[in-house]
């Protein structure tokens, strides 16, 4: 680790920059999954 800094994120408490980057990646993945599910639901509704 080159540098240690922490930040507070709602509901997560204090996390470091590396944990925050991981959180952002997982959060983005969650949204991609939701978009995929919404697209599939929309396609079924159109059929």
User: What are the residue boundaries of the structural domains of the chain, listed by start?
Assistant: 6-46
What is the predicted pLDDT for the residue at 3? 67
- Average pLDDT taken over every residue of the chain: 87
User: Taking the CB of residue 6, how many other CB atoms lie within 10 A of it?
Assistant: 12
Question: Which pTM does this prediction carry?
Answer: 0.65
**Residue linked to tokens 């396609």:** 43
User: 2 pLDDT exceeds 70?
Assistant: no
Q: What are the pLDDT digits (tens) for 13-34?
A: 888 888 889 989 999 999 999 9
What is the predicted pLDDT for the residue at 30? 95
CA-based angle 12:15:16, to the nearest 5? 160
What is the predicted pLDDT for the residue at 16? 83
Share of the chain above pLDDT 90, in %: 51
Residue 13, token pair as written in the block: 């408490």
């Amino acid at each position: 680790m080159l540098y240690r800094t922490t930040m507070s994120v709602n509901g997560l408490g204090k996390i470091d920059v590396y944990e925050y980057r991981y959180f952002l990646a997982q959060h983005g993945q969650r949204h991609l999954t939701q978009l995929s599910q919404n697209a599939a639901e929309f396609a079924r509704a159109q059929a």
